[in-house]
Amino acid sequence: MCIRDRNIIIPVSKLLSEKRSRPYISIREKLDRIIEELRQEKRNVREVYEDVLSLLEKLVSVEEEKKMLELSDAEYSLYEQVKRRGFNEGLLGELVELLKNLRAKQIPGWYLKSPIVKEIRRELKDFLLKYHKNLKEINSLVEEYIEGRRGE
């Protein structure tokens, strides 16, 4: 990998290194694949520039939507996963409102208080079960949300 290749990859890599939630992880994984293919000389610089530009556009899109919805990284990650599963727009709007209501319950140290964590789990599960019947998948989404919020 030559110097000019690094000039386009390093800033994007630094932007993504701070992000830990799912939409950013998928973008980071794509960038890692591009870097590896570039190292193995499977791609030319033009292809790399185009792919990195595409990743930047995706990153900007994620940031703009997250800002418009006024969601944290963990909240947006849950929103994005529900959206990808094809839930209707009405549900997404309700989900955003629920997430904002749950945020109000998340006082400093909330994750150390079992009753608060249980209530948040219950509210999220109850809401998602109205629209999706796979309990294992819902539990996974809820736990990922809680872990993401703990890290914020």
pLDDT tens per residue, range 33-90: 887 877 777 777 778 778 888 888 888 898 899 999 999 988 999 999 888 887 777 7
* Better-predicted residue by pLDDT, 94 or 33: 94
Residue type, 118: K
Mean pLDDT across 13-40: 74
Residue 3 has pLDDT above 70, yes or no: no
Question: Is the pLDDT score of 6 beyond 80?
Answer: no
Buried b (16+ CB within 10 A) or exposed e, 65-82: ebeebebbbbbbbbbbbb
Predicted structure pTM score: 0.75
- Which pLDDT score is estimated for 20? 64
The pLDDT of residue 106 is above 80: yes
Q: Which residues of 35-64 are buried (b: 16+ CB within 10 A; e: fewer)?
A: beebeeeebeeeebeebbeebbeebeebee
Is pLDDT larger for residue 47 or for residue 99? 99
